[in-house]
Structure 1
C-alpha cells in the first residue's frame, strides 16, 4: 500500500478569496487589493492566526502608504529617468521634478480625505504593534495579546465604501523578505538580540526604520523584539528611497533626533546595499549622527563581504547559515513535519539525507531546499516503503502557502505536495528509485516535449484562472508591460527614457493586457522539468513534471504578468530550438482554438532573452542573436508571408547594418520601411541578396527568416547559397594564415576582444559587449605591425568594432562569386540595384546598374559620386527601391502588404521611430503620440 500524505488544507484554487473561516489562508493570487486584504484581516484575527493577520495588516497599511503618495509617483518616475540622462539639462530638470513631486505629495496629505486615511493608518499602526509580538511567538501570552488585537480591530470596523475607489483597487506590493527569501520573524529577533548586546542602554530612544517594501514588515517585528528585550522607547518608520516623509512621519523622525536617539535601518537581503545607504544618508542629513545609525541586515551569503555603500555606518549582519530556515530544514525538524502530515496508520521509520542534496542546499539569493529519503511503515499491511521527499522554503505564512494551493491545483503536472508548515513545503522528489537524481531536461535540447509544455500551460489556464489582469493596475511596480516599455524605449533613441511614460506605457499596457488571465509559472526553464520514472503502483511512468511551479509569478524580480503566452514564450526562449518553438505554438493553438498574437509573442520573447542575459543564463552574444532572429521572424510573418523569391529575377544587393536593419535594442533588426522595401523587391520579381561584413551565421539567419536566396559574409570572404546550404570560402591559404596571425596579435593586447564568429577575417573591439567600441588607430596599426601583415590587410572601421580584411577581398568579389553560383545556365543576370552606406560598399555600388546610399551614409561615398537618398536608414532603402520599381514600396496592388491588426500597427510604430534617422524622427514620434493617446483613451 502506498501511503497518501494528505494536504494540510484544500484551498479554493480558482479564486484568491477567503475559503471559509476555518480554512488556512492559501490564495493562488498574491497580488490582492485593499478590499480583499481588509476583508480577510478580521477573519484571520478571529481564527487567532496571528502571523497571517500581521502580514495582512502590514500589507493594508502599506497600500495606504502608497496611495497617499500616488500624486507625485508619476512625476518622480519621470524625474528618475531624467536624472539618469547624460545631459546636464535633463539632470537639472529631473531634480526639479523630484522636488515638485514631493511638494505635490505634501499638499495632498493636508486634504480632508487624506486626514481620514491618516486616521485609518494610525489605527492600523496600533493593530500592527499589537500583532507583531504574536507573530514573533504565536504561543506566547495569548490572552492579553489577543485582547489588545481585538480592541484595535474594533477601531478599524467601517464600511469599505467610505474609502476612495482608487484606494480599494490599489494592489499590494509583495515583501521580498517573506516571499522570495526564507526570512522569518525569529531572524529579526536574532538581529535585535545582536543589537542589544552591542548597545545595551535600554533607556535610549530607538527609531526602527524599514526600507520599504520589506522594511514595512521587518521594522514592527524588530521593534517588538526590542521592547521584549527591555527597550522602553521604540518607534517605527517605513521609508522608500526617493519618496518624501509626510506629516506624522516627519514629526516622529524629528522627535527621535531631539531625544538623541538611535536609528536602526532594516531591509531584505541586499545585492548592492544602495537603497539602505540612501536611507541612512537621509537620516544623517536629517540630524542623526553617523555613529547613531545602525544597519541591521540578514545576508544570504555564508561569509558575507562588507557592502561598500554602507561602510560608513555600524552594521550587524545575520549570515545565511544562521537563518532560522537552516534549522527548519535539518533532519530532526523535517522528520517532525513529515510525521505531522502522515495518516494515523503510517509511521515514519527513518529519514535520511538524500546524497544528491545533503541536509540543506542553500541558494545565495532564493529559497533553501533539502532532500531526504523517508522510510515509512504502514501498520495496515506491515510493509515499509520509501519516498523521496523535498523540504523547501516557499515564503512565510500565506505568501508561502500559495505554493501549497498551486501544487494542489496542478496535481499530476507537478510533484505531489504533502503539506506546509511555517514557511516549509513538503513535496515529492521526482528522483529515480536508485537515488541518482532526477532525469533533468538539459537546456538547449529540444526537450521537454513541446506538446507537454503547451499542455502544462493549458492546465494552468484551466486550474488557475483569474477574474482580471491585475498587472494593468501596477504602474511603478515593474509588471511585464512596464519592463517591456523600458526595454523598447531604446527604439526611440536618446529620447526614449523621458518619452517612455507618456508614449510607450499606454501602448504596451494595451498591447499586453490579456482577456483570459491566469496565474503564470514565470520560470519555464528546461532544467525545471523532470521525468517521473515508472511507478507500477501509480500505473504511469515517463511523464514530465514541472518543479518550481509557484515561485516565478510573484518573485522579487517582479515582471508580473497574467498571460499564458508569457510562459510559452519563456519556454521557447530558453529552449533555443526553432523546431521546439514551431511545435509548441502549433500544439497550443490547436488545443485552445485561439491564435497566439505575434506582437505579444515577440515582446515576451525579447523580455525573456533580456532577462536571461542579465541573469547570466545566456551569453549576451547568444541572447542578442536569438533576439535578432525573433525580430526577423516577426517582420517576415507580418510583411513577407505571401512573398516568394523568383530564382530567375534580376539581382539586388543590400547591406544590412544602416541599410536593411538598424541597431537600437542591442541587436540589429529591420523596420516597417525596411520590410516594405524588401517586400516590394520580392513581389516585383527581383532577387535580393545580402552583402555585409557580418559573419556567416548572421547571413544564414536572415536568409532563412526573410526567404532570400543567399548572401555575402565577412566583406566577401565567404558566400552562402541558402537553397543548397553551400558555403564557399574565397580566402586563400596565405590570406587565412595572415588572419590567424592577426587575431593572435589582437588577442594579446590588453582590453581588446576578438569576435570568434569571424573566422575568415578579424573583428576586434574594446569594452564590454553591451558598450562595444572600435579600436583606436594606434592600437590597430600596432596589431598589424606585430602580425607582419600591414601591407596585405586593410582596416574597416565601424561604430562598435574594427574589422581587418585581406586586401584582395571585398563585397564586389564576393557578390560576383555568389551570382556565378546562383546563375541559371542560359546566361548571367544583371545586378540592377545595390544599396550600401559605408566605404566598404563602394566597389559594390559601382558594380550595380543603380547604386544608392541612404542619407546616413559615410561622406566618402558622396565624394565618390554615389547617389544619396534624402531619407536615412531603412527609409532611404525604401526610396532606392522606389527608384527601381517606379512607385513607393507597398503602394501598388502587387506589393501592397496585408492588412495589419491594430496591435501590429502599434508595435511597428514603436519599432520604426528611427527608420529614417534623426531627421525623420519628429514625424514618426507624432504618429506614436497619436497611437498612445488613442490607447490611453480606450483603456
Structure 2
C-alpha cells in the first residue's frame, strides 16, 4: 500500500477521470490478451488479425502499437518453432552434464526426442527464414517511426500467406512462453537498438560478418530486432541463430555454430538482463566449444538495477551493456514528458493547465516505498507525481498520479482492461501509452484498515471484488491448469506433496504423477485472478476500499499461473487471518455475487497453495533483495504467518476426520503427546500429522482416553491444536504454561521474575542483526538465524523446507555471553538443529505434566507419556507409563526410565503404541479414516497422508513402470 505521503484527500473535485475514448476503443479489441499463454495456433490467429488491422488503424500511437504486437507475436512464433525443432532434452545438473556419461545421455535423449520427419523440419526452417525476411522489412522502419502502413502492403500480404500454411498439430498446440524482457522488466525495442548502436561504435566495419545468437526465450526477440537493425545500418552479412543454453545446442545448432566460427563471423550474444550471469557464461562456453575465439565474442545485454554487478567476473571487453538509467522507460517517466502526457489526458476533462510540483520513484516492496529504482528483479518501474490542476474557470486543486510500467504492446493491455472492468474497485485510470499505465494515486492519511469500515464490511468488499473478477474476467472454459508454460503454483505444490514419498529416490519422480492429478482438479470458473490479496494492497478512499496491484500477479513467467478464484479467497483468509465464522461469511458473500457454488470444495487445496506461495516468496524476497533489518523481520513475520496458516488448516483438515463427537473432558487415563516427531512431522515443509496419526487420535477418542499435548510449541499453537483435534488441553513451551481447553483457562507455570528476564533477553536478541525470534513464544524464546541453502544437486532435489532459507541456531558463545552479561540466572538454553531455545531453569515437560495432572484430575491419576527426544525424558520420569516411536535417539536413557520403544517410527510408531494401549485387536475397534464426501483436492491430500506412512518399495516399483514419472527429468 502506498504510504509515502500520509495526507488526506481534501477538497478534491469530483471530475471523472475516465480514459480517452480513442484508447477505450482501441484496447477493447484485445480481450484475448487477458490470458497471455497462447498456443502457436492462437498466436497465428492473433497475428493474422494484427496484420489485417495494420492497414486500417489510425496513424500515430495506434499504428505503433499494432506494429509492436506484430513484432511480439512474430517472435513468439519464431521462438515456438525453434523450441519445437529443438525438442526435449534430459534435465541434468551442470557438473554431470559435462562428464562423458552425461554427454552420452544427452545425445541419446536428443536423438530419441527427434521424431519430426526431416522434410517437415526443412519446411519449418524455410518458413522461419521467410518470416524473418518479411519481418525485417516491417521492423526496419515501422518499429521506429510513425510511418504510414501503406508501403508495407506487399510484405503484409506475404506474411499473411505464410500464416495460412498448415503447421504440424504438435506445434500448433504447443504453448508459448512470455518474454520477461517486455512483460515485467520494462524493456522496449529502443533499448535493443541502443545496444546495437553501442556495438556499432565499437565495431565500425560494416563488412565484418556478424552472427546474432539469441538465448531463448528473450534472445529470440532481441535477435530479430538486431538483425533488422544491422541490415538497415548497412551490415552486408548478418545471420541469426537461437539456442537454449540450459538445454544445450542440438547437433544441428552445434554444426551451424562451428560453421560460422570457421567463416570468421563475429558472435553477438543477446539476452534479457541477467540475474547472476550464469546463463551468459553457459552461452560463451557453448560458443568457444564451437570454435569462436573469445576476442570475437560480444555479449549485448541490458543491466537491471537489482543486479548491477552481474558482469564483474567476466573478461574486460566481452560485455556491452545498457545501464538502467538509460532505458527508454526511465526517460519516458521524466517529469517533463509525463506532464505533457497528463495534459493530453486531462485537457478533455476541463483542466486548462497541468503542472507537476514534485515526483519520486517508488518501490513496491513489502508494502513500503523508497526513493530510487526498483531493488527487485521483476518489479516494474513506478513514479508518483504530485500535480497541480487548474480548471478553465481558474479553480486549482492538487492531485497525485502514478505512472507505472506494465509491459510492451499486448502484454501490457491487461492492466488497462482489468481497470476498466473493475472500475468500482480500483483507483481511476487515465490511460495506457508506450507500456506505461497512468492512474490516480490516492495518498492515505491513515491505514486502509482504519477507514471506518468494520471487519464484516471488509469481508463483504473482498468477496464482491473476487466475485466481480469471476464474472467480468472469465477465461475460456478450455483454459485449465496445465496449459501454461510455467505452472509455478502447481509445480510448487507438487514439490511439497512429493515429500510424502520421503526418500530421495522417489520423491522427485513422483512429482510428475502428483502434478498430473493437480492438473485434473476441476475449476468451473477459470478466471484471471488477482493473486495478491494481502492487506497492504487495499487502500481507503472516501468511497470505500479500493484494490491496488489488481493485475500482474496471476499469470506470467514467474507467477502462479492459477486460474481458480478460490485461490484469491484462500489468500484473503491467510492475509486477513479470518476466523472460521469470518471465512464462512466470505464464502457466502462470494457465492451470492458470483454463483460459484462449488468454491468450498476447491478451497482447501488453494489454501495450501496460498500458504506455500507466501512462504516461498517471503524467503525469495529475504535473499534476493537488499533490505534493512526492519524489512527482513517483516519478511520473516510473513513467512511465519504462512507457516501458522498451513499448520492450522492442515490440523483442521485432519481433525475433522478424528475429532470426537462429544466434547472433550478430563478423565483417566490421561495421555500426554509430544507434537513434533510424534503427532506431527514436517512432511510437506511444515508440520502435519499423517493418516496413522489421525487413526491414533481416533482410537484414543473411541476408547475414552483424555488426550493432552506436552510440547515445546507455543501457547497459541497448543490452543489451535486442541480446537482442531478436540483435545482436552496441554502443556506448552517446555512446561512453562498449561492450557485447560475444557475450562477454557490457561495458567503460566513460571514466575514474574523469570518473565522479566525472558523479556530482557528478548530485547537484547532483537538488537542483533540477522537474528529472528518466533514471536509466538511468550514464556520461552526460540531464536535462530536464516542461512541460504547450498545449491548442490542434493539440496535442489530434496527441499524438505519451503523457500531458499534454512534456520540455524545462534552461536553458542553469543547466547552464553548474553545470559552471563545480563545476569539472567533463571534461564538456560539448549541448541537444536534449527534454533536456540531458551527456557526457565525450574520447569520442564515433567513439571508441566505434573501441574496439569494435579490441576484437572489429582496426583493419583494414571498418566501415559509419548515422546521422542531428550526433552521428553522428564515427562517419562513423571508419568505412570511412557512410550516412544523408534526414531528416538536417547533410547538407552528412555528405557532406564521404563519407556517402551515401538518398532515403528513417527506416526506409525504412535499408532502402534496406541494400538497396544487400547488393544484394538481384542475388541475389534479401530480408528480407520472414513471420510465423507470429499473433493478431488481433499482426496489427493488424504492419499498423500496415507503414502507418508507406508514403506515405498511398492510405490517405487510402480513408478518405474509409469512413463509420466520421468517427466520431471525432461526439460
Alignment TM-score, normalising by the size of structure 1: 0.84
Contact conserved, 2:761 with 2:819, CA < 8 A, in 1?
no
Does residue 215 of structure 2 align to residue 205 of structure 1? no
Does residue 112 of structure 2 align to residue 104 of structure 1? yes
Aligned 1:470-481 pairs, distance under 5 A: 470=479, 472-474=481-483, 477-481=486-490
Contact conserved, 1:890 with 1:897, CA < 8 A, in 2?
no
Q: What is the rounded CA distance, in whole Å, between the counterparts of 1:471 and 1:720 in structure 2?
A: 46
Aligned 1:352-431 pairs, distance under 5 A: 352-353=356-357, 362-364=373-375, 365=377, 366-372=379-385, 388-431=400-443
* Pairwise CA distance, 1:352: 1.7
Which of 222, 226, 233 pairs up with 2:226? 222
Q: What is the rounded CA distance, in whole Å, between the counterparts of 2:428 and 2:136 in structure 1?
A: 38
* Pairwise CA distance, 1:568: 1.6
Which of 676, 690, 708 pairs up with 1:657? 676
Which of 665, 676, 698 pairs up with 2:717? 698
* Pairwise CA distance, 1:52: 0.9
Which of 663, 669, 686 pairs up with 1:667? 686
Contact conserved, 1:716 with 1:809, CA < 8 A, in 2?
yes
Residue 611 of structure 2 is matched in structure 1 by 606
Which of 185, 188, 207 pairs up with 1:184? 188
* Pairwise CA distance, 1:691: 0.8
Q: What is the rounded CA distance, in whole Å, between the counterparts of 2:386 and 2:813 in structure 1?
A: 61
Aligned 1:4-19 pairs, distance under 5 A: 4-10=18-24
Contact conserved, 1:440 with 1:527, CA < 8 A, in 2?
no
Contact conserved, 2:567 with 2:607, CA < 8 A, in 1?
no
Residue 879 of structure 1 is matched in structure 2 by 912
* Pairwise CA distance, 1:912: 4.5
Q: What is the rounded CA distance, in whole Å, between the counterparts of 1:130 and 1:724 in structure 2?
A: 81
Contact conserved, 1:643 with 1:683, CA < 8 A, in 2?
no
Residue 314 of structure 1 is matched in structure 2 by 318
Distance 1:399 1:374, change over 3 A: same
Contact conserved, 2:672 with 2:707, CA < 8 A, in 1?
yes
Q: What is the rounded CA distance, in whole Å, between the counterparts of 1:889 and 1:179 in structure 2?
A: 66
Residue 870 of structure 1 is matched in structure 2 by 903
Residue 491 of structure 2 is matched in structure 1 by 482
C-alpha distance after superposition, 1:361-412 (max 9, x if no partner): 7434422233346666777x88777764333221111111222222222221
Q: What is the rounded CA distance, in whole Å, between the counterparts of 2:253 and 2:104 in structure 1?
A: 23
Does residue 295 of structure 2 align to residue 291 of structure 1? yes
Contact conserved, 2:39 with 2:175, CA < 8 A, in 1?
yes
Contact conserved, 2:431 with 2:439, CA < 8 A, in 1?
yes
Q: What is the rounded CA distance, in whole Å, between the counterparts of 2:870 and 2:814 in structure 1?
A: 18
C-alpha distance after superposition, 1:719-738 (max 9, x if no partner): 23345564433345787788
* Pairwise CA distance, 1:661: 0.3
Alignment TM-score, normalising by the size of structure 2: 0.81
* Pairwise CA distance, 1:877: 0.8
Q: Helix, strand or coil for the counterpart of 1:281?
A: helix
Q: What is the rounded CA distance, in whole Å, between the counterparts of 1:712 and 1:695 in structure 2?
A: 9
Does residue 302 of structure 2 align to residue 301 of structure 1? no
C-alpha distance after superposition, 1:879-937 (max 9, x if no partner): 22222333279984887543362432321222453346xxx343566799999989x9x
Aligned 1:780-795 pairs, distance under 5 A: none
C-alpha distance after superposition, 1:788-815 (max 9, x if no partner): 9999988766443465656653312111
C-alpha distance after superposition, 1:5-28 (max 9, x if no partner): 434444799xxxxx7xxx467622
Which of 69, 88, 101 pairs up with 1:52? 69
* Pairwise CA distance, 1:462: 0.4
Does residue 870 of structure 2 align to residue 839 of structure 1? yes
Distance 1:570 1:124, change over 3 A: farther
* Pairwise CA distance, 1:165: 2.9
Range 57-66 or range 614-623, more displaced = 614-623
Contact conserved, 2:192 with 2:222, CA < 8 A, in 1?
yes
* Pairwise CA distance, 1:46: 2.7
Q: What is the rounded CA distance, in whole Å, between the counterparts of 1:526 and 1:28 in structure 2?
A: 25
Distance 1:294 1:933, change over 3 A: closer
Residue 82 of structure 2 is matched in structure 1 by 65
Which of 113, 119, 124 pairs up with 2:131? 124
Residue 368 of structure 2 is matched in structure 1 by none
Q: What is the rounded CA distance, in whole Å, between the counterparts of 2:963 and 2:585 in structure 1?
A: 35
Residue 815 of structure 1 is matched in structure 2 by 849
Q: What is the rounded CA distance, in whole Å, between the counterparts of 2:921 and 2:566 in structure 1?
A: 36
* Pairwise CA distance, 1:54: 0.9
Aligned 1:241-260 pairs, distance under 5 A: 241-246=245-250, 249-260=253-264
The one of the two structures with greater contact order (alpha-carbon pairs below 8 A, sep at least 6) is 2
Name stretches of at least 5 consecutive residues in structure 2 with no aligned partner.
1-13, 55-65, 364-370, 623-633, 789-804
**Number of aligned positions between the proteins:** 892
Does residue 513 of structure 2 align to residue 503 of structure 1? yes
Does residue 938 of structure 2 align to residue 904 of structure 1? yes
Residue 147 of structure 1 is matched in structure 2 by 154
Distance 1:927 1:605, change over 3 A: farther
* Pairwise CA distance, 1:344: 5.7
Range 303-312 or range 118-127, more displaced = 303-312
Distance 1:706 1:134, change over 3 A: farther
Does residue 697 of structure 2 align to residue 689 of structure 1? no
Q: Helix, strand or coil for the counterpart of 1:349?
A: strand
Contact conserved, 2:381 with 2:405, CA < 8 A, in 1?
yes
C-alpha distance after superposition, 1:241-267 (max 9, x if no partner): 222434664454233312323222222
Range 323-332 or range 392-401, more displaced = 323-332
Q: What is the rounded CA distance, in whole Å, between the counterparts of 2:755 and 2:360 in structure 1?
A: 49
Q: What is the rounded CA distance, in whole Å, between the counterparts of 1:438 and 1:36 in structure 2?
A: 44
Contact conserved, 1:743 with 1:762, CA < 8 A, in 2?
yes
Residue 536 of structure 1 is matched in structure 2 by none
Contact conserved, 2:492 with 2:613, CA < 8 A, in 1?
no
Contact conserved, 1:130 with 1:149, CA < 8 A, in 2?
no
* Pairwise CA distance, 1:865: 4.6
C-alpha distance after superposition, 1:410-436 (max 9, x if no partner): 22122233322221223333447xxx6
Residue 799 of structure 2 is matched in structure 1 by none
Q: What is the rounded CA distance, in whole Å, between the counterparts of 2:898 and 2:884 in structure 1?
A: 10
Q: What is the rounded CA distance, in whole Å, between the counterparts of 2:928 and 2:959 in structure 1?
A: 25
Residue 640 of structure 1 is matched in structure 2 by 659
* Pairwise CA distance, 1:519: 0.9
Q: What is the rounded CA distance, in whole Å, between the counterparts of 1:89 and 1:369 in structure 2?
A: 42
Residue 540 of structure 2 is matched in structure 1 by 531
C-alpha distance after superposition, 1:297-321 (max 9, x if no partner): 2223299334456457622222222
C-alpha distance after superposition, 1:29-52 (max 9, x if no partner): 211222221112122123323211
Q: What is the rounded CA distance, in whole Å, between the counterparts of 2:101 and 2:823 in structure 1?
A: 52
* Pairwise CA distance, 1:471: 5.3
Contact conserved, 1:489 with 1:504, CA < 8 A, in 2?
yes
Q: What is the rounded CA distance, in whole Å, between the counterparts of 2:614 and 2:203 in structure 1?
A: 48
* Pairwise CA distance, 1:95: 6.6
Does residue 176 of structure 2 align to residue 172 of structure 1? yes
Q: What is the rounded CA distance, in whole Å, between the counterparts of 1:840 and 1:373 in structure 2?
A: 60
Distance 1:603 1:310, change over 3 A: farther
Q: Helix, strand or coil for the counterpart of 2:509?
A: helix
Does residue 474 of structure 2 align to residue 460 of structure 1? no
Q: Helix, strand or coil for the counterpart of 1:820?
A: helix
Contact conserved, 1:612 with 1:623, CA < 8 A, in 2?
no
* Pairwise CA distance, 1:149: 4.3
Distance 1:738 1:52, change over 3 A: closer
Range 44-53 or range 654-663, more displaced = 44-53
Residue 16 of structure 1 is matched in structure 2 by none
Range 367-376 or range 43-52, more displaced = 367-376
C-alpha distance after superposition, 1:673-706 (max 9, x if no partner): 1122223323443221111123334323323433
Contact conserved, 1:377 with 1:385, CA < 8 A, in 2?
yes
Contact conserved, 2:672 with 2:709, CA < 8 A, in 1?
yes
